[in-house]
Amino acid sequence: MNALSDKLKNWGHWIVFLILEVASLVLLFRFNAYQGSVWTTQANDVVGRVLEGRQRLIAYSQLGEANRQLTEMNLQLQSELDVVRHRLAELEHDSSATERAVASQLAGIHRIPAQVVSNSIRDRENYITINRGLADGVENEMGVVCGTGVVGIVYQAGQHYSLVLPVLNSRSSISCRLHDTEYFGYMKWNGGSPLLAFIDDIPRHAKIKVGEMVETSGFSSVFPAGIFVGKVRRILNSDDGLSYKLEIGLSTDFARLRNVSVIEGNPQFPAEPQNDEEEEE
Amino acid sequence: MILVLFKRLFQVLVLAALQVMVLNQIHLFGYATPMPYVLFLVWLPLNSNRVGNMLWAFLLGLIIDVFSNTPGEASASMTLAALVQWPLLHASAPKDCVEDMVPTYTSMGRWNHTRYVIILTFVHHALFFLLESFSFFHLRDLLISFAASLALSVVLMLTFETLRHGK
């Protein structure tokens, strides 16, 4: 008995050390390799609430600026409204079939409005936390968009908060196409500026113009086709020199992200033959 | 005993809050993020319990991990640093010091204390960035981040300790 307690005295800290390290590594690898448990990330309820409080505090301190922007927007909208009223009076009698089709397609897509409670843009791997979770209908692998375009994909949905893998994460890979020429590829981000991303493997014979619009391809069930992503800024050679690599100026300013919506998976998406292209590795 | 428990808990919460709410937002030159929560280990007295220290360090690391989406990285690094802390402190404490000495630059001597802080922070940062390389590998960036963060953390910690124990 004495020998045992002596041994424990000498080796106890090693045993505790090993247990704790193994626990840490399990957490690390589960998070990296697989959609691990939610409670060790920002999608955890308690963590979400704390971060939300902090975000509110920051938002409160920026109310002055928000007010100014609202006033500006109000003025602009009012002047636009005038113009629209005039046009409406002219066009009232005829609402064409295409217009109705577009409206019905948009109406078919259910979106869950959410707010960003935590956001990073300068880490090597950025994540966004939003204040909607399983209880609100958010599920893993759903697309997230905002007013200016694509934001990312839900990575881990918690009960009331979810972790989003934004474009600004090296693990993000979003299937995109060029608006005019319809060449497609996967948009990746590899650190650096939060305003730029890249599309690889555009064939050499493609005639691409700088400034061309980039949108989602609709090849997966995550995003419907045609959601704005950004514009081509530069056309570079790929690393192996066999194809083009496009530098994309992202349309979404991730540094000011506040209101987003989660796109609920919907069978009414334009069904393309290729599927599951957009899963994370 | 219970007083010590509360004191440790308080230190853990304050350091974690500071890291999560403020310091995680800092990326000096895009590379350096200070992580002065290693101070928790520096504040442990000479006669503290080795296993208990490791558990506290793990807890502090875990809280920070959960809030910064780095599961396992800070907790693993803090546990390793806590393992090193005990023999390191015993080796660098002056021979004639009291049994429950709290390491400060007055109790240990300026150079001894600085070296103690640097080694602990080095161990923590080395494992932290090594683990980070599993999710992000870019050797040059990692090394710059490691060196810059280490320097920034050490400077912050030593400044704080100097202010705290200054006259």
Cβ A44–B135 below 8 Å, yes or no? no
Domains and CATH numbers, chain A: 174-251 (2.40.10.350)
| Higher pLDDT pick, B3 / A96 | B3
Residues of B in contact with A10 (CB under 8 A): none
Tokens encoding A238: 């790929």
Is beta strand A162-166 parallel, antiparallel or unpaired with respect to A244-250? unpaired
pLDDT for the residue A93: 52
Cβ B66–A51 below 8 Å, yes or no? no
Cβ B134–A191 below 8 Å, yes or no? no
Chain A residue nearest residue B71, CA to CA: A28
Nearest CA-CA distance, residue B109 and chain A, Å? 28
**What 3-state DSSP class applies to A210?**
coil
Q: Match 């109790």 to its residue by tokens.
A: B107
Provide mean pLDDT across the span B82-111.
82
Residues of A in contact with B79 (CB under 8 A): 17, 20-21, 24
Between B30, B51, B72, which is nearest A28 by CB?
B72
d(CA A81, CA A114): 27
pLDDT for the residue A265: 67
d(CA A57, CA A188): 33
**Number of A–B residue contacts, CB under 8 Å:** 92
A50 touches chain B (CB under 8 A): yes
pLDDT for the residue A158: 86
Burial call A111-144: b when 16+ CB within 10 Å, e when fewer: ebebbbbbbbbebbbbbbbbbbbbebebeebbbb
Provide mean pLDDT across the span B127-137.
77
Of A225, A208, A218, A222, nearest in space to A265 by CA? A222
Task: Please determine, for residue B123, whether its predicted confidence score (pLDDT) is greater than 90.
Answer: yes
Q: What pTM does this model have? A: 0.66
Instruction: Say what the ipTM of the complex is.
Output: 0.77
Chain B residue nearest residue A47, CA to CA: B67
Between B58, B71, B141, which is nearest A20 by CB?
B58
Chain B residue nearest residue A165, CA to CA: B69
Q: Which of A8-12, B3-7, B51-55, B62-66 has the lowest mean pLDDT?
A: A8-12
A11 touches chain B (CB under 8 A): no
Interface with A, mutate which of B60, B67, B69 (most A CBs under 10 A): B69
Residues of B in contact with A127 (CB under 8 A): 69
CATH number of B2-165: 1.10.1760
φ, ψ for residue B98, nearest 5 deg: -75, 165
Cβ A44–B66 below 8 Å, yes or no? yes
| Higher pLDDT pick, B124 / B1 | B124
Residues of A in contact with B51 (CB under 8 A): 12-13, 16
pLDDT for the residue A275: 43
Query: pLDDT by residue for chain A (281 residues), tens digit each?
Result: 566 677 667 777 888 888 888 888 888 877 765 445 555 666 677 777 778 888 888 877 777 777 777 877 777 787 777 778 777 766 665 445 444 433 444 456 777 888 888 888 877 788 899 988 888 888 888 888 887 788 899 988 888 889 999 988 888 888 888 888 888 888 888 877 888 898 888 888 888 888 888 888 878 778 888 778 888 888 888 877 788 888 998 888 888 888 888 888 654 454 444 444 444 43
pLDDT for the residue A279: 43
Nearest CA-CA distance, residue B135 and chain A, Å? 7
